[in-house]
Structure 1
């Protein structure tokens, strides 16, 4: 699929994960989120070069494998490229075993070492938020933690790449349990993006670009609050995180058929439990060698 023009010097390479291509006006291009694997990388590079551009730098908004797994192949073609990422995310990109390790809680079994959870390593450099020139392209990096512990949205004039702080309507419908490490921060980041002025095009990390930021923010907040409510309802009878996960999946009609889906969705439920604990809506207790979560009645 050819690059989709967004502005005069900004392009979208759409896919399961959206990649942004930002021209520097001198034949170079900053690549934002390179995708999952070699297949995505090959297609992305082919279209970048067809547009008369050459990669000048890479920015990974966060460390999830589907956003940086293509780095390794791109570096084979362009070994001089610098890869940038938020500081903590850069560490995980350099040492990608950390992703399945923190999801599983121990050395992950073979079933959790697929390309979806364990990307090839690449030498990402830490970058603080703010305005930077990367590969000849000036961008403003906005901290939007929640989906990942650290994550940046990328603003270039009227264009906003929200990364996974916002999802498009179709992904939200397909995946009701939207992944987040911190559901309270994910909601806060979405709200803060909704206060930005002068944005005419918003690109979510997953889904189609839109000219209407406010409805997209509202849709994401509605989805997140629905999950919080489902987790709270599941706590009506005390249960372990795995028991609560099964109840939430039944309520939201989610079907899990592989170990990766289980650990990802268990993390989602855990994130919302942490939020509910902080709000005093849920309490944690250890009973019969089990860690149980139940409603407080508040």
Structure 2
């Protein structure tokens, strides 16, 4: 873990729970794409930088999930590097309590205020084209989270953040986190057509071809949607739908899984309602969902 792996002349990734991109710039300067899940990850990254004699100039966050920004504060404090994050995700990076609050839908209890859902605050600025190193390209990848992006480096390596999960992850956990299902599917269709020397997803193996994996992710989204429609043959409240999904897929409920999977299921229900496949009705002051 935290092995530095070179994929092209100037582009690398650090093997970690969420892959961290590293790109050599001019001289000894380097930048990171994301920073890992916590202060310990930041320390290990700093050790790699010191071993190679590199100076960290900037961290470009793909989005604001805690496992991608958790090393920000430590690395910024140690190196003085700048931090950039896209759109709405910049606010979440500056104020990380927004993530568990958003997922829970209110003030998060202490079981949700931990490093896996709430990173430490860091002084992030909004990501724009002007702040990128020369030759870098921003690739919009919305859907998984609000304004998630990927990056293409000058030597044609594409870092894909969380828009793809590995087959093993999908087969094990079934329901991957999605904020906006319709937009996520559009992103996956776009990703299928991308060309690059190497693709580096955060939660799947680096590869020269990711079209098949993108399709596997699409198929899993559509499978989950069909599953929810099938569950909603009779009017059911959200909690009953969530319980059925956990039971049918053999998942284990805890606070973290309740908010991550629960938020995703709400997004599915919103998408299915907007596309006319389920209805929301109120009976006895309870919101119920039923297939059309």
Structure 1 length as normaliser, TM-score? 0.93
Residue 260, structure 1, aligned to residue 261, structure 2: no
Deviations along 1:163-187, one digit per CA (max 9) or x if unpaired, are: 0111222222232110011111111
SS in 2 for 1:160: strand
Q: After the TM superposition, which residues 100-249 of structure 1 pair with which residues of structure 2 at under 5 Å, given as runs?
A: 100-128=100-128, 131-132=129-130, 134=132, 136=133, 138-156=135-153, 157-197=155-195, 199-249=196-246
Residue 20, structure 1, aligned to residue 21, structure 2: yes
Structure 1 stretches lacking a partner, 5+ long: none
Deviations along 1:138-195, one digit per CA (max 9) or x if unpaired, are: 3111111111011101112421111011122222223211001111111110111112
Question: For residues 101 and 21 of structure 2, what CA distance do their matches in structure 1 show?
Answer: 29
Question: For residues 62 and 245 of structure 1, what CA distance do their matches in structure 2 show?
Answer: 26
* Conservation of the 8 A alpha-carbon contact between 1:132 and 1:139: no
Give 1:40 shift: 1.1
Give 1:132 shift: 4.7
Deviations along 1:75-123, one digit per CA (max 9) or x if unpaired, are: 12112x1110112100111111111111111111111101111111111
Question: For residues 173 and 138 of structure 1, what CA distance do their matches in structure 2 show?
Answer: 37
Give 1:10 shift: 0.4
Give 1:236 shift: 1.5
Q: Report the counterpart of residue 85 of structure 1 in structure 2.
A: 85
Question: For residues 260 and 137 of structure 1, what CA distance do their matches in structure 2 show?
Answer: 40
Q: Report the counterpart of residue 95 of structure 1 in structure 2.
A: 95
Give 1:214 shift: 0.9
Residue 251, structure 1, aligned to residue 252, structure 2: no
Structure 2 length as normaliser, TM-score? 0.95
Q: Which moved more, 1:49-58 or 1:267-276?
A: 49-58
Question: For residues 200 and 92 of structure 2, what CA distance do their matches in structure 1 show?
Answer: 24
Give 1:216 shift: 1.6
Question: For residues 83 and 248 of structure 1, what CA distance do their matches in structure 2 show?
Answer: 38
Give 1:6 shift: 0.7
Question: For residues 85 and 283 of structure 2, what CA distance do their matches in structure 1 show?
Answer: 42
SS in 1 for 2:159: strand
* Conservation of the 8 A alpha-carbon contact between 1:9 and 1:25: no
